Amino acid sequence: MTPRALSRLSRIWFPSGGIAASGIEDGYAKLIRAGFLRQSHAGIFHMLPLGRRVQDKIETLIAKHMEETLAASRVSMSTISTEALWEKSGRLQSVASELFRFSDRKNAAYLLSPTHEEEITSLVARTVKSYKELPLRLYQITRKYRDEFRPRHGLLRGREFTMKDLYTFDASRESALATYDSVRAAYSRIFAEMRLPVLVAKASSGDMGGDLSHEYHLPTPLGEDYVVSCNSCDHVINEELAESAVADEAPPCSHFTVWRGISNDKSTLVNVWYPRTRTQLASGESSEYTDSDVNIHAVKSVVPDLNAGVENVVSLWSAAVNGPERTATRLLNMIDGRLPRSIEDDLTCSTPSLPVWPDELNPPHPGLAVSVHFGDGKPLNLLRIRPGDQCPKCSTGSLQVQKAIELGHTFHLGTRYSEPLDARVSVPASVDPVPGTSSSQAHESGRLQIVPMQMGCHGIGISRIIGAVAEHLADKKGLNWPVVIAPYSCVIVPGRDASESDVVQVYQHIAASVGAEDERLDVAFDDRTVSLPWKLTDADLIGIPIIVVLGREWPSSRRVEVQCRRLGTKDLVGMDDLPGVLKNMLAAL
């Protein structure tokens, strides 16, 4: 292994600060002040040389696991896709509001791809025809585009971003699920190499499709997701899917209340019935539920077009019921699973004792349909999980809820895209066709049958990792990169009495031993014409993990000062001991 060459910081452009920040700044502000990036437009950024180095290292790490672990081949899909292809997959309208759309001079409709399921499926459908060509693993690292309504938090929620996509194609569901497990294992190794405390949570597949997915979250106060985990077992799940343990005894009717919502088109009034009192089953403590505890995700699973941001629900409903163009048609009662089943009878009778209708609307307008939703097969969980709730998967654990940012997502897609885009292969007739496949979709021809491919898609947000790590590990002094993705893992800073030849001597000494064994050793020489204190402050701001200073002890004793803010160490080290000290630090970082 050949050690990386010694880089000179004077030859690299990074408009960094070098002074303390004024006021409170988050990780994004530190990325700006340290010279990693600059904003060009709302939600769109220029990546400067230091930021590019971090991005390159993340991409290299991920590519290693894609190719060596999963035997995936790298492709580069076009940024431009056609609306016709997205119409064919049935996804255009559901994501239309987030698409950058345009027409060419012939008025053909195109879009900037936020993801590439349609394009990769169409490509493979035209090329692969036999099960003998499967399994197939194709990945890319490319820019994506999403017309975010409100870009925020720098790289965490942008309109242009860099992602790694892996698309997998298998001949059977069994093989596809084995592939899915292999990808999950590779993802765990990737984040482990970055030393990031990622939570792997079972998640909803959303617009992507499929029936199995997992998210990879990094806890951070700026996160937009809530991840629920148990302190006793391995239960980790996105709040959208989370369920809490249901009490054995339902509360009496006097101990529950109602939250009201309305659909976007004002045709449906939603009553969400839930208990007033919350019992923390894990601790025995009690508290009160409020309307803020209503799980909007759960309500939207039944009423997808719910307008959760409306405060004057009753007045909107009243106008819909009594206006000249009446739109109100339905009253839907949703009942939390903690409530007694008997509530259903009361809500559907002609003279309910419960306040089904708001006081302002009594008596109800005739002709409106009244329905009750108690859950299809299992009780509804209409309240958000609170810390301390009992785990539904084990008898001893309690749940904790953390804000987190999603760094990656794995999806088993099944035939969600291969069916509409006609991506099919011939397989031996003895192989069971995909469950639910009709004879017209999988027909026998001699000893072969034609079946849709089983697909998976697996993404990692490259630019989002940069923003999330900056936020997660930054402190008052600056950024604090994991060594494997730091712009430089080590910087040599000479004092007034050290020469350039001294720096080269130290570098060659550590490169010959440490660099020959650890490819993460990436050394920079700070030869800029600024003061030593300025250089040290700047190294902390940039977030270089290891700083080697040729200070006052260097001329007399040939000892250097080795600093590591992450580990909280600052030691004088002789040349003979320096390689061992650096090896131990790299192993710990």
DSSP 118-139: HHHHHHHHHH--BGGG-SEEEE
Partners of 230 in the β-ladder: 399
Q: What share of the chain is helix, strand, coil (3-state, %, to 5)?
A: 30, 30, 40
DSSP readout, 300-322?
HHH-TTEETT-S-HHHHHHHHHH
Looking at residue 439, what is its pLDDT? 41
CB 228 within 8 A of CB 397: no
Per-residue pLDDT, 438: 47
Asked whether residue 22 carries a pLDDT value surpassing 90, the answer given is: no
Residues of the chain with CATH 3.40.50.800: 7-21+479-588
**CA atoms of 230 and 211, how far apart (whole Å):** 23
Q: Which amino acid belongs to residue 216?
A: Y
* pLDDT tens digit sequence for 152-173: 889 999 999 999 999 999 999 9
Place of tokens 């292994």: 1
Mean pLDDT within 292-311: 85
Token output for 258:
């109602």
pLDDT score for 281 = 52
The pLDDT of residue 284 is 56
pLDDT of 437 above 60: no
Degrees to nearest 5, angle at CA 304 with 257 and 372: 45
Q: What is the percent of the chain where pLDDT is above 70?
A: 86
> Is CATH 3.40.50.800 the right assignment for the domain spanning 7-21+479-588?
yes
Phi and psi at 551, nearest 5°, equal -100, -145
Which overall architecture, per CATH, does domain 54-241+401-429+451-463 show? 2-Layer Sandwich (3.30)
- Geometric angle at alpha carbon 344, from 342 and 345, rounded to 5°: 75
pLDDT greater than 80 at residue 322:
no
> 3 or 88: whose pLDDT is higher?
88
Phi, psi of 576 (to 5 degrees): -65, -35
Going by the DSSP 8-state scheme, the letter that residue 2 receives in this structure is: P
- Whether residue 522 contacts residue 486, with contact meaning beta carbons closer than 8 Å, is answered with yes
In sequence order, which ranges of 168-223 are alpha helices (DSSP H)? 173-193
pLDDT at 444 over 50: no
Average pLDDT over residues 453-468: 96
Q: What is the pTM of this model?
A: 0.85
Arithmetic mean of pLDDT over the chain: 87
Are 404 and 310 a contacting pair, CB within 8 Å? Answer: no
Q: Percent of the chain having pLDDT more than 90?
A: 56
